[in-house]
Amino acid sequence: MSPTADGPRPHIIALANQKGGVGKTTTAINLAAGLAEIGFRVLLVDIDPQGNASTGLGIAPQNRKLTSYDLIVDGVSAQDVVQKTAIDSVWIIPANADLSSADLEIVSHEKRSFLLHDALRQPDLDSYAFDYLLIDCPPSLSLLTINAMVAADSVLVPLQCEFFALEGLSQLMLTIRDVRRSANPALRIEGIVLTMHDMRNKLTSQVEADARATMGDVVMKTTIPRNVRVSEAPSHALPVLSYDTASKGAVAYRALAKELANKRKTVR
């Protein structure tokens, strides 16, 4: 990690998959909560125009006066867009539909791929002493997603246990390779996390076996099960770890947070 004035800078992870409905935002919310539970200070950066991570952490639309759009497009101070959530040690930079036009608005900018990178390295974020920044990307390989990959140290890929999962993964890997070559040589794969995992389903077992055979240790040991509590939690504006702390989904996301932190040898 490169040090800031007050210590090491946060580890930045982009959660990305161009396919929608794979559990990307759910994983972002619950991984943030899981990391916070084990003692880390986490900032979730919502750059999905749908703003689901913001909603899922209780930031009402009327309370998103300044958002990641203002941070990326208008260059406002990072400190002005950070909001505290109801979850201890979790903050958020919210998003709204303004981001839908962001790609068009920044495409002619000289540093169009580095806007988020520079925004998240503003000195006014140092005082928060974040350990992790999690970036919830749009479900597309857009300029916003490229910004996230350029800004990030690593990419975590939620992968749904379904037939076409690995086909989409290959395109994402090509994009990551291109970003390494052009803008962020240090970018690495944090891991692939299998979501909506149901061992009663033969297809789940086949997808998991194929993913582990193809990607090896890059696939996280922890899998996220299909769990109704995980699906219900966002409607209550809570991570599943708070909504039903003993549910299978909550247990799985805690395990994922610990596995990720252990990879970095930073469990507290």
pLDDT tens string 77-95: 999 999 999 999 999 999 9
Q: What are phi and psi of 193, to 5 degrees?
A: -110, 125
Give me the amino acid identity at 227.
N
Residue with tokens 């149901």: 198
Residue with tokens 């930079």: 93
What would you report as the CA-atom Rg of the chain, rounded to the nearest whole angstrom?
Answer: 17
pLDDT > 90: percent of the chain = 82
pLDDT > 70: percent of the chain = 96
Distance CA 63, CA 249 (A): 29
| Secondary element (H or E) of residue 3 | strand 3-4
Mean pLDDT value across residues 58-77: 96
195 token code pair? 């979501």
Can you state the angle between helices 165-182 and 143-151, rounded to 10 degrees?
Answer: 60
Residue 9 DSSP class: P
Question: Terminus-to-terminus CA distance in the chain, angstroms?
Answer: 18
Report the pLDDT value the prediction gives residue 131, as an integer from 0 to 100.
97
Q: What are phi and psi of 219, to 5 degrees?
A: -75, 125
Res 201 pLDDT > 90: no
Please state the pTM of the whole predicted model: 0.94
Report the pLDDT value the prediction gives residue 163, as an integer from 0 to 100.
77
**Domain 3-263, classified CATH 3.40.50.300, yes or no:** yes
The residue that leads in pLDDT, 259 or 8, is: 259
Report the pLDDT value the prediction gives residue 250, as an integer from 0 to 100.
97
Interval 133-145: pLDDT, tens:
999 999 999 999 9
Res 231 pLDDT > 50: yes
Report the pLDDT value the prediction gives residue 7, as an integer from 0 to 100.
62
Least trusted range by pLDDT, from 4-13, 139-148, 222-231: 4-13
Which pLDDT band, with edges at 50, 70 and 90, does 164 fall under? Answer: confident
Interval 93-106: pLDDT, tens:
999 999 999 999 99
Report the pLDDT value the prediction gives residue 162, as an integer from 0 to 100.
83
Q: What is the mean pLDDT of the chain?
A: 92
Res 4 pLDDT > 60: no
Report the pLDDT value the prediction gives residue 8, as an integer from 0 to 100.
80
Mean pLDDT value across residues 258-265: 89
